[in-house]
Amino acid sequence: MIDRRIKFRHIQCFTEIAREGSLKRAAETLHLTQPAISKTLKELEDILGATLLTRSRAGTSLTRQGEVFLHFARASLASLQQGLDEVHETGTNARARLRVGALPSVAAWLMPPVAREFAALAPDAVLQIIDGPHGYLTDRLRLGELDLVIGRLGPPDMMQGLSFTQLYSEEVAFVTRAGHPLTRDPDLRRIADFPVIYPSRGSAIRPLVERYLAENGIGDLPRRIETVSGAFGRVHTRQSDCVWIISAGVVTNEIADGHLVRLPFDTAITQGPVGLMSRPEAPSTPAQDIFRLAIGNVLSDAG
């Protein structure tokens, strides 16, 4: 039997601290004071008779018991969210709703034709698309705020508790505006001479980019802006001399239209799988099954 002393606030605070890796940031997210969230965590640890998190100047880290409890805490929150959504939809007689997270590269290239195909196959369903960085989307998926996520296969710690089905492979591209000096003399060693739009910390492609640059003898890039925002990158790259390092799918349309130019660097070692992520404990719904069919049809036509 579940100990009745454990309240929703205990689970919410613990999962948020684990996600943020910091009591301070978790308190800010939950609009609580740091002493209040610290007290709530201690109450939970006292009830369980186990230390779930260790604290240091660098932040917080999970203990072995914390890792185990986090898995089930996230699953319980996801189930609760799904139940709330089902009650709302039943009470309002709403249409089926599917919430899909998509990395910027997926949102720019794959999602438009998939959305059209899904609408044709399920005209009465509502498709909600949320884009963002890898960590943000997988956290929302674990919490039940998203039903599916399409994105790159991340490191093992970022994929914990999620299933992954590969759809295709994608590599990183170096992109500039048309007429950029590097389009006339494409030398990778010269990118440090220009501002760079660089993948932000926690993004799935950042480790691949760091490895690629290191293997090519490229050191620190001090003049850089760190972001995975496709909207910012498209505008800023066309209006400046910056070099944009981004997943190729983000800029497929802009390159085809001639607005941006992909530099001819061999980035094959940055190639990685892109796939569909879900919570294995959550049963698949008819809307999810139709969405998977829509993806398959689009990728089949793309050949």
- What is the C-alpha end-to-end distance of the chain, expressed in Å? 53
User: What mean pLDDT comes out for the span 229-247?
Assistant: 94
How many domains are contained in the chain?
Answer: 3
Q: Estimate the crossing angle of helix 111-121 against helix 286-302, to 10 degrees.
A: 130
142: Cβ–Cβ under 8 A, 6 or more apart, which residues?
74, 78, 161, 162, 279
Residue 235 lies in a domain: yes
CATH of the domain at 241: 3.40.190.10
pLDDT over 80 at 185, yes or no: yes
User: What mean pLDDT comes out for the span 9-34?
Assistant: 90
Query: Amino acid letter at 4?
Result: R
Q: Residue 230 sits in which domain range?
A: 172-270
Q: How many residues does the chain have?
A: 303
User: What mean pLDDT comes out for the span 94-99?
Assistant: 80
The residue that leads in pLDDT, 234 or 202, is 234
pLDDT over 90 at 79, yes or no: no
pLDDT in tens, 251-283: 988 999 999 999 999 999 999 899 999 998 888
Q: Within this chain, do residues 254 and 192 fall inside the same structural domain, yes or no?
A: yes
pLDDT over 70 at 99, yes or no: yes
Report the candidate in 241, 222, 230 with the shortest Cα–Cα distance to residue 205.
230
Residue 89 lies in a domain: no
pLDDT over 60 at 92, yes or no: no
Beta-strand (E) ranges in the chain? 53-56, 59-62, 97-102, 126-131, 148-152, 163-170, 172-177, 196-198, 224-226, 243-247, 260-262, 272-278
pLDDT in tens, 47-57: 999 999 998 88
CB 194 within 8 A of CB 223: yes
pLDDT of residue 87: 58
Report the candidate in 44, 11, 41, 43 with the shortest Cα–Cα distance to residue 23.
41
pLDDT of residue 159: 85
- Written as six digits, the tokens of 124 are 């009465």
Residue 14 lies in a domain: yes
For residue 239, what pLDDT band results from cuts at 50, 70 and 90?
very high
Mean pLDDT is lowest, of 71-85, 124-138, 183-197, for 71-85
- Written as six digits, the tokens of 285 are 């719904």
Query: Amino acid letter at 171?
Result: E
Q: Within this chain, do residues 124 and 162 fall inside the same structural domain, yes or no?
A: yes
Q: Within this chain, do residues 60 and 204 fall inside the same structural domain, yes or no?
A: no
